[in-house]
Amino acid sequence: MKIILSITLIILAMNVSAQELNKKIHDEVHNKDILINACTREGVTAFPEFKEMYDPLYEAYVPDAATMIELKKLIKNEKIKIVLGTWCGDSKANVPNFLKILDALHFKEKNVEIIAVDGKKKAENGILDGLDIVRVPTFIVFDKKGKELGRIIEGPKTTLEGDLLAIYKKKS
């Protein structure tokens, strides 16, 4: 029994790791090509429709300095999951600014997972199971054990860095 379970786990791990990154599909809801499932930052930021807003917004965004100083003190080994739609205006507006914040914090890129969804806010292979994604973008912060600490949904209540600080302050 243990051998069968081990083989099953190995096959599952191989399927997840073999999942195509930056997969493009035609989304029927928006009648356009989009990215779906696990994506790299480069894949998202180079995707033509996303890139046209990404570059100028990333360049222009200046996170609040005082908030960033406080955030830097609280960052440890948390993980962040970004669920976005390459077709979504809020994703196009907020993801560049959020990534600029993470870059300024020297947040480890290996601790950031990006998942693109279709027009129904779904992805394939169960990678969104249990995340209850209703709007995009959704930025979810997890502790190193995988417990959700908080999320920013669609847009910030204050600023992205302010909302992120509020999540981190709840943790400590």
- The CATH number linked to 107 is 3.40.30.10
Q: Could you give the dihedral angle defined by the CA atoms of residues 35, 93, 91 and 167, in that order, rounded to the nearest 10 degrees? A: 140
pLDDT of residue 13: 46
Quick check: is 15 in a domain? no
Give me the mean pLDDT over the 43-64 stretch.
Answer: 95
Quick check: is 98 in a domain? yes
Backbone angles phi, psi at 140, to 5 degrees: -115, 130
Quick check: is 7 in a domain? no
Quick check: is 116 in a domain? yes
Q: Which domain covers residue 154, as residue numbers? A: 21-171
CB of 139 closer than 8 Å to CB of 102: no
| Cα distance between residue 69 and residue 61, in whole Å | 16
Quick check: is 161 in a domain? yes
Quick check: is 49 in a domain? yes
Whether the pLDDT of residue 163 is over 80: the answer is: yes
pLDDT of residue 8: 43
pLDDT of residue 171: 72
The residues, ordered by sequence, that sit 6+ positions from 99 with a Cβ below 8 Å of its Cβ are 41, 45, 58
* Domains contained in the chain, number: 1
The residues, ordered by sequence, that sit 6+ positions from 153 with a Cβ below 8 Å of its Cβ are 134, 135, 138
| Cα distance between residue 57 and residue 99, in whole Å | 11
